[in-house]
Structure formats: structure tokens, C-alpha cells
Amino acid sequence: MVCLAMPVSLMAQDIQQSQVEMEQNQVSITVSSSCLRVKNADGQLLEIFSLTGEKVYSQRIEGQSRAFELGQLQRGYYIVKVGKFTRKIYLR
């Protein structure tokens, strides 16, 4: 039986660094009242759907951090899609 030894500290360091890089590049969506803020989604398409599946808003995101005023939408729950990232939000 052959046993290969790998430096465990190096592997742990690589994993930690990869996790930090993934967290830095992860899309972030936050909502405050009727303002939607999207981070780390430059060049991606923002789509907002009602719970019945109707697309109610669509916009290409320009820049690393962008805010969208959604006061024209009725109060309630919506599905937000940015690229492959999807989240349910509530607008007040």
C-alpha cells in the first residue's frame, strides 16, 4: 500500500483563499424600503418577477455596485434574478 503525504497546511490555506475570493465575487442583493442595491454583478441582467411569474422590471447592471429605485412597483414579494443568482425580496 502506497501512502502519499500532502502538506495539509498548504491545502487549508488554498481552501481559505478560494473561499475569500468566492465571497468577494458573489452577487449581493439588499433591499431597503423600495430601493434595491446590487453588488458584484457588473454586466449582468437584473430581472424582477411578480410571484405569478410576470416580468415587471428588467435592467442591465453597469458597475460593481448599483442602486435601483423600485417605487413604481406595488408593495409585496418579488423574485429577483441577477445572472444565475435568484432571491425573493419584499418591497414596502
Give residue-wise pLDDT tens across range 27-80.
999 999 899 999 999 999 999 999 999 999 999 999 999 999 999 999 999 999
For the chain, what are the domain ranges? Answer: 27-91
Interatomic CA distance for residues 1 and 30, integer angstroms: 53
> If pLDDT is split at 50, 70 and 90, which confidence band does 81 have?
very high
What lies within 8 Å, CB to CB, of 65 at 6+ separation is 37, 38, 39, 40
The pTM (predicted TM-score) of the whole model is 0.72
**Lowest mean per-residue pLDDT among 10-19, 23-32, 75-84:** 10-19
Task: Assign domain 27-91 to its CATH architecture.
Answer: Sandwich (2.60)
